[in-house]
Amino acid sequence: MNFLNPDDQALTEQFLRDGFVVAPADDLASLDYIRDVIAPHEPKMHLNTIRMQAMLKLNQDPHAKEAYYSLGKHLLVPLVGNELAMQKRFNLSVQKPDDGHDLLPIHADSWAGDSPFQVVLWVPLVDCYRTKAMWLLPPEHAKDFRLEGTSEEMFKRWEDKVKYIPVKYGEVMVFNPNLPHGNRVNKEQGTRWSLNCRFKSLYSPYCRKELGEHFEPIQIRAATQIGLEYRFPA
């Protein structure tokens, strides 16, 4: 039995088929706010210093998490649920053109102890396309994937099957992080700046990265609050 409305059902089918969905951000003002907090520019300091300073600034901002959630709420609620936990800290990727030092090799989050019951909300702060975008191995091919050889050997084995997903500034992507994904050397013009953060249903399994340590609740309904506070009469 499935009580999803037609729009949510179509979104669900697209996400399960493709492993991702790209859509306009719900709130462009919030996106501009996040970009201004980080203030992207062409890196002149050491790349890791740039990233760490920007992440510290964003993670300490009192409005950043709510602003970030507001960008993809219309996707997260139908795909994940309306009682949600959010990753406590943002991740930021800064990738200069022709720089091979900041590559994210082929991986899936669940391989490193992340819960398989989660999605990633991926937000570019510049237009991302071709090698400036992240790539994903679609579900139809991921079902045959095997952990054999080095990261580079595995990528080369599946290179003709992976999909680079273009996402413009003003758009967001939600993707399935259980699928193999990563990035390659940015061969396009300009530095790639992108944020990612994980969301999951509040009471789905957490695996190694638990509620309180890596995740925090951001949306709890009344019935859940009542249940958590209930004590059987003595």
Phi, psi of 68 (to 5 degrees): -65, -45
Distance spanning both ends of the chain, measured CA to CA: 39
Q: Is residue 1 part of a domain?
A: no
* Residue 42 three-state SS: coil
Q: What is the pLDDT of residue 41?
A: 55
Q: Is residue 211 part of a domain?
A: yes
What domain range includes position 224? 6-229
pTM of whole model > 0.75? yes
Nearest to 74 by CA among 219, 178, 172, 197: 172
Q: Is residue 59 part of a domain?
A: yes
Q: Is residue 234 part of a domain?
A: no
pLDDT of 43 over the 60 cut: no
Phi, psi of 117 (to 5 degrees): -95, 50
Q: Is residue 60 part of a domain?
A: yes
- Asked if 95 and 191 touch (Cβ cutoff 8 Å), the reply is yes
The sign of the torsion formed by the CA atoms of 127, 198, 160, 138 equals: negative
Number of domains, the chain: 1
- Give the number of other Cβ atoms within 10 Å of residue 225's Cβ: 10
The sign of the torsion formed by the CA atoms of 104, 199, 167, 142 equals: positive
CATH assignment at residue 196: 2.60.120.620
The predicted-structure confidence for 180-229, as pLDDT tens digits, reads as follows 999 999 999 999 999 999 999 999 999 888 888 899 999 999 999 999 89
**Residue at 211: amino acid letter:** L
Q: Is residue 70 part of a domain?
A: yes
The predicted-structure confidence for 73-95, as pLDDT tens digits, reads as follows 999 999 999 999 999 999 999 99
Q: Is residue 206 part of a domain?
A: yes
**Rounded to whole angstroms, what are the CA distances from 70 to 52, 82, 171?**
24, 13, 12
Q: Is residue 148 part of a domain?
A: yes
